[in-house]
Structure 1
Amino acid sequence: MYLEKQKELIKELEAVAAKKLFVHSGSLKTRHLVKKSKDRQEILSQHVALLSSLVEENGLFIPTFSYQFPKTRLFDVKNTPSEIGRISEYFRANIADWRTPDPMFSVCGTGPEPRCSRSQVSPFGEHSFFADLVKNEGHLLFYGAGIESITIMHYAEFLSDVSYRYWKEFDGHLIDGDTRTELNFTAHFRPMGRHLDYQWDKIESDLINVGILERYNSNVFGMNAKALVDFWCQKMSEDPLYLLDKESRIWVEPMLDSLGRAFTKEDFE
C-alpha cells in the first residue's frame, strides 16, 4: 500500500520538476508513505529517501532551526540539534552535506554549499538563504506539516517592511569544528508579551483560490516560492496587516496609528 502512495506522490511532483525543494516535514502524518518498522531510524531513513526522490540530485533542503541562541549566544554548526522534528534532525545528523551558519534559522542540504555570511547573519534579508530560494524559484513542500510552519513568510514581511515587527540583534559566537568566530545576528521579532499571530485559514484559502497552493495528497502540499512571496507582497501593498488575524489587528492597528511609526524594541521591552 505504501509503495502505491509513494508512486502517486512522485508522479505529482514530477510535474513540478523542482530543482530546489525546501521541505517542512512531519513524520506522524506521513507515516502511511513509508514501510512500517520498529526501528525509528529506518523509518526516518525511508522518509528522507522518498523526499530525495522528489527533487533533482543535490536539491533537497530541510530547515534545522534552533531557538537557543538568544540565551546561549552560541551556535555549533555541526552539533547544535534541530528543534523542529525527527526528519529534520535525522537529515542534519546523517545526510546533509552542509548547514547554513544561521544560529536560529539554519538550513541543511545536499550538493554545493550556498554562500552565506558567517559573521553578519540576517535570516530573512536580501542576502539570506530564503532570498536565494525565491530568486531561483525553489519549491516549498509541506510533507506532513501545516501551513503554520511557513517560515518564508518572514522574508515577504521583510520585503514589505512590515511595521508590526521590530529589529533586535544578538552578538555571540559561531563554532565550526575547532574554529570559533564572532557572530552578529539581526532579525525582526514579534512584539514581546502581546498576541501576534496570523489568519492561517484565510491565508491557506487565498493561496488555493489563486492556484498557488497545490495539494498532492491529504497531508502533502506545496507551492512555488517566488509566486508565493510575490502574491503576499502584493497583498501587503494593499493592506499592510493582511497576514494578521483579527485578535492581532484589533490592537496592532490602533497602536501603529497612535505612534505614527513602526514598532521598536523599546515599545515592548
Structure 2
Amino acid sequence: MVSDPILHAFTNLLIWLPVLLFLGSVSFYYHKDFIFSITGVNEVTRKEEPFIYNTVENLCISRGLKTPNIGIIEDNKLNAFAIGWNDKNSWIVFTRGLIENLTKKEIQAVAAHELTHIKNKDNLLILIIILFIGVIKTLGEAIIRSLRYNSSGNKGGIYFFIIGTVLLIVGHIIFPFVQLAITKSREFLADAGAVELTKDKDSMISALKKIQKEKNSLSLEEKSIYHMYIENPSSKNGWTNSHPSIEDRIKALESY
C-alpha cells in the first residue's frame, strides 16, 4: 500500500487518465450510435420520404450546404434534433408526430433550426463540454479518494484535499450550470438562424407553440440526451432546464 498521500494521488491520476481518454474517445466517435439506439432513429431516403427530404434539401441548396442525412423516429411526440458537425456525419431527425402535425412551413422552420445547429457545430461544442465535465469530476474524486490513506495531515495532503474539493465543486455544480447557459444560448441562436434561412419568423413561432401545446414527455433513456431536442418538456422553466422557455424564445423571435 502506498503510504504517501501525494504519491498515491498521482498514482490514481496516472491510472485514471488513460481510462478517461479511452472513454472520451468512445463517446466522441460513437455518440451517434448511442443516441440512435435510445431513440430508434430510422434513416430515410428521398424515395421513402420525399416531402421531408426535399424540405431539408431545398434549405441546404439555398445556402450552398450539403444535405445532411435524414432520420425519422416513429413516435407521436412533436420533436426534432440534429447531430454532427460536418458533411460526413451530420443528421437531422424528426419524429413522425412532428411531420404529421405541423404545416409545411412550420416543418421547414424546424428543419432550418436544426440545420443551424449543424452549421454552428453546437453538437460538437456540447459534447466537448460534457466530456470535460466528466474528466473534472473524475479527477476530483480520484484525488479525494487517494487521501483516505493520509493519516499524517501534512501540508501536501491538505493542498490535495483543497484541489480535489475544488474540482468536485467545479465538476458537479459550476460547469453543469455553464453547460445549461450555453445550451440555452445556442437555442436562441438556432431560432434566429431558422428565421435567417426561411425569412419566416411566424412559422417558427407557430411551430414552437404547437410543440409546447402537445405536452411531450421524454422516456428515462431519452432524458440523457434532453439537451439535443428542439424543446425539452421534462423539466420546469428555470436554471435547471436545458432550454429557454417557449415564451422567451417567442419573445426573442418577435423582435426580429
TM range (shorter): under 0.3
Q: Which has the higher helix share?
A: 2
Give the TM-score normalised by the residue count of structure 2.
0.25
User: Which structure has greater strand proportion?
Assistant: 1
- Point out the structure with max Rg over C-alpha: 2
